Amino acid sequence: MAYSSSSSSWPFFFFLLVSSLCMFGMNISTTTAQLSPSFYSSSCPNVLFTIQNAVLTAISNEPRMGASLLRLHFHDCFGCDASILLDDTSSFTGEKTAFPNANSVRGYDIIDTIKAQVEALCPKIVSCADILAVAARDSVAALGGRPWIVQLGRRDAKTASKNDANTNLPPATLSLSGLITSFSNKGFTTKEMVILSGSHSIGQARCTTFRSRIHNETNIDAPFATLRKTSCPTSGNDNNLAPLDATPLLFDNTYYKNLVSKKGLLHSDQELFNGGSTDAQVTAYSNDNPTFLTDFAVAMVKMGNLSPLTVSSLCMFGMNISITSAQLSSTFYATSCPNLLPTIQAAVVNAVSNEARMGASLLRLHFHDCFGCDASILLDDTSSFTGEKTAGPNANSVRGFNVIDTIKTQVEAICPKTVSCADILAVAARDSVAALGGRPWVVQLGRRDAKTASMSDANSNLPAATLGLSGLIASFSTKGFTTKEMVILSGSHSIGQARCTTFRSRIHNETNIDAPFATSLKTSCPTSGNDNNLSPLDATPIIFDNTYYKNLVSKKGLLHSDQELFNSGSTDAQVTTYSNDNPTFLTDFAVAMVKMGNLSPLTGSNGEIRTNCRKLN
């Protein structure tokens, strides 16, 4: 995956890392292999010259190709495994036709040409992933940028995923906080995020990616907006191109100068200079081209080294190698159960279509199963333990078990004894949010199922609706979440309903509540009786959006613990921000859900793969 050149927005280069572990009935080693700039010094000594010559020829024929090759590398990375180059096969639909790439990413023919030349010199030696990485460096250098040393030794992926590309590339509508969070999730600092955004020093973008900005936003230079409107009206001309900065064929700091002048083409670009924490860095680069060029080169080395496939991380057929630590991976079932994700998604969509409330139920079932995400909540009681189903927070409340049973039956029919109930729960939660309007995330897979469950643990570990702000902060902190992440994950109450017993005290006794709102609820939830009567958690209980936060600002939080997030405390500002910015909330929620799903899962030989989610094998 990559950055922008001829279209699309820079955040599109976020793509999930392709797993470097393959489990085909063998033990596989996770010994770390190191990349090296001299990897081909003996096996293919002329590879760098060959690539450089081909890149220079391509740019000489079409200067725009430099930006296209840089973007192709960005859209292939984090992982930098050449998965973006794979055509579709009978076993997978690749990334070329994914939304961020279709009719947008280009330069494949140049890479094909380079690969043919390299194969003529050094057959079956140099990976396509390394060719992409070097071609990106040479493209930047050819257009005036500072070259960097490319670490070599990557291997090429054996699969690709259109679904991953579609669901994991953040949009150009991200705010500054969303950008910071997205980069931080991949190990980049805020400064590195601003640096890598400078790839928009070259290239162009399609009208569809900047139409809303030039027609609706106010933090934009008026003559600049007027100029762009000529070729990008309010409708039509979707594929018309405009340069990302004033010197689209020269790699320099003009991009930052444009931001200071409010001439950023994309919303996400101008967010870097919009009265926020990155204004000073943008100003510094706008006045110092040499420093920008040096910093960009350093950041590109880091990006190219993010979890590449290497010799020891690939599948070694016929070899016995040990695993030092089992890792979750989005492609865990790519070979063992390739139709898993569509099977779960179809079942979830069908369940939500039959009962829209089920989306919230499946999300809540996943929440109540985590921290650990081991499907312990699905276990019926046995003679040796009393499980979680009858715990206080779950009894007569948590539901959706029958939907999970149905999905498990379908999955067992196509991949017997392969997919855990814990993974089904995690994917079903993601698909539920997406079905109701939320932003999907890539679910890391490979969890194993617990062999026991504890009613006591469920009673003591699930935060109560009566908690104050300090209690909520402490409860989430214990599990490794920040206060910001606690506020984000509380947004799961954007969908669903709650029983009268959970909000009776609030509507009858508390004062920080909108009076008409409280009155409207008292009819179905009097001071006694009607314990199981339901009320929506926000005003749009079957749409996953930021209405939950808007309700809190209006003192219409249904639960005490919800309204505590906006009650003159430290989280008021974040609630206000999300109430005004749905896209940022949706992005931040997706990121937080990835973290939650990865908290101490059972992996490797721990636990088991249940064939029936309700009981042990």
Rounded Cα distance between 548 and 225, Å, is 34
Average pLDDT over residues 206-215: 95
Quote the tokens at residue 402.
């029958």
**pLDDT value, residue 438:** 85
In a domain, 256, yes or no: yes
Residue-number span of the structural domain to which 565 is assigned: 460-597
**pLDDT value, residue 11:** 29
pLDDT at 186 exceeding the cut of 70: yes
Average pLDDT over residues 155-173: 79
Q: Do 268 and 230 belong together in one domain?
A: yes
CA 252-207-72 angle, to 5 degrees, is 55
Catalytically annotated residues: 368
**pLDDT value, residue 20:** 28
**pLDDT value, residue 324:** 25
Q: Output the known binding site.
A: 369, 372, 374, 376, 388, 463, 493, 538, 540, 545
In a domain, 37, yes or no: no
Q: Do 145 and 239 belong together in one domain?
A: no
Angle at which helices 340-354 and 421-435 pack, to 10 degrees? 50
CA distances from 280 to 113, 267, 276, 362 (A): 43, 18, 9, 44
Q: Do 145 and 82 belong together in one domain?
A: yes
pLDDT at 170 exceeding the cut of 70: no
Please name the helix (run of DSSP H) or strand (run of DSSP E) that holds residue 369, with its range, or none: helix 358-369
**pLDDT value, residue 221:** 97
Q: Do 50 and 160 belong together in one domain?
A: yes
Return all residues near 67 (Cβ < 8 A) that are at least 6 apart.
4, 5, 6, 139, 143, 202, 203, 204, 248
Q: Do 470 and 587 belong together in one domain?
A: yes
**Predicted structure pTM score:** 0.53
Rounded Cα distance between 69 and 203, Å, is 10
Q: How many CB atoms lie within 10 A of CB 362?
A: 27
Q: Do 266 and 371 belong together in one domain?
A: no
Q: Do 407 and 493 belong together in one domain?
A: no
**pLDDT value, residue 78:** 55
pLDDT at 427 exceeding the cut of 70: yes
Lowest average pLDDT, out of 43-52, 207-216, 236-245, 423-432, goes to: 43-52
Q: What is the DSSP letter of 526?
A: -
CA 228-232-235 angle, to 5 degrees, is 150
Rounded Cα distance between 97 and 207, Å, is 19
Quote the tokens at residue 45.
């000594």
pLDDT at 152 exceeding the cut of 70: yes
Find where tokens 């940028």 sit. Answer: 145
**pLDDT value, residue 183:** 79
Pairwise pLDDT comparison (615 vs 162), residue with the higher score: 615
CATH number of the domain at 268, please.
1.10.420.10
CATH number of the domain at 377, please.
1.10.520.10
Q: Could you tell me if residue 104 is left (phi over 0), alpha (psi between -120 and 50 degrees) or otherwise beta?
A: alpha
Quote the tokens at residue 570.
């430290």
In a domain, 41, yes or no: no
Return the percentage of the chain with pLDDT > 70, whole number: 90
Q: Do 221 and 177 belong together in one domain?
A: yes
**pLDDT value, residue 33:** 43
Cβ pair 408, 324 in contact under 8 A: no
In a domain, 414, yes or no: yes
Q: pLDDT-derived band of residue 26, with 50, 70 and 90 as boundaries?
A: very low
CA distances from 335 to 168, 338, 387, 415, 556 (A): 21, 6, 34, 11, 48
**pLDDT value, residue 461:** 81
Quote the tokens at residue 170.
């953040």
Average pLDDT over residues 582-611: 90
Q: How many CB atoms lie within 10 A of CB 385?
A: 16
Q: Output the known binding site for heme b.
A: 493
Average pLDDT over residues 540-553: 96
Quote the tokens at residue 396.
């007569």
pLDDT at 75 exceeding the cut of 50: yes
Q: Do 449 and 467 belong together in one domain?
A: no
**pLDDT value, residue 169:** 62
**pLDDT value, residue 47:** 87
Rounded Cα distance between 84 and 75, Å, is 7
Average pLDDT over residues 185-193: 85
In a domain, 333, yes or no: no
pLDDT at 241 exceeding the cut of 90: yes
In a domain, 35, yes or no: no
Q: pLDDT-derived band of residue 536, with 50, 70 and 90 as boundaries?
A: very high
Q: Output the known binding site for substrate.
A: 463
Average pLDDT over residues 94-108: 86
pLDDT at 69 exceeding the cut of 70: yes
Q: Do 62 and 78 belong together in one domain?
A: yes
CA 4-277-195 angle, to 5 degrees, is 35
In a domain, 493, yes or no: yes
Q: Is 577 exposed, middle or buried (0-12, 13-18, 19+ CB in 10 A)?
A: middle
**pLDDT value, residue 371:** 60
Cβ pair 242, 205 in contact under 8 A: yes
**pLDDT value, residue 305:** 81
User: What is the tally of structural domains in the chain?
Assistant: 4
**pLDDT value, residue 168:** 60
Domain termination residue (choose one: 136, 167, 198): 167
Find where tokens 């067992």 sit. Answer: 412
Average pLDDT over residues 394-414: 94
Average pLDDT over residues 121-142: 92
CA distances from 171 to 9, 182, 399 (A): 7, 11, 33
Q: Output the known binding site for Ca(2+).
A: 369, 372, 374, 376, 388, 538, 540, 545
Cβ pair 208, 238 in contact under 8 A: yes
**pLDDT tens per residue, range 301-352:** 888 887 687 754 332 222 222 222 346 887 788 788 878 887 898 899 889 9
Q: What are phi and psi of 180, to 5 degrees?
A: -60, -45
Return all residues near 556 (Cβ < 8 A) that are at least 6 apart.
513, 514, 517, 538, 539
Q: pLDDT-derived band of residue 549, with 50, 70 and 90 as boundaries?
A: very high
Domain termination residue (choose one: 443, 458, 473): 458
Beta bridge partners of 535: 498
CA 219-220-223 angle, to 5 degrees, is 150
Domain termination residue (choose one: 128, 152, 167): 167
Q: Do 565 and 578 belong together in one domain?
A: yes
pLDDT at 13 exceeding the cut of 70: no
Q: What's the mean per-residue pLDDT of the chain?
A: 86
Rounded Cα distance between 440 and 590, Å, is 6
Pairwise pLDDT comparison (26 vs 138), residue with the higher score: 138
Q: Do 592 and 465 belong together in one domain?
A: yes
Q: How many CB atoms lie within 10 A of CB 384?
A: 7
In a domain, 334, yes or no: no
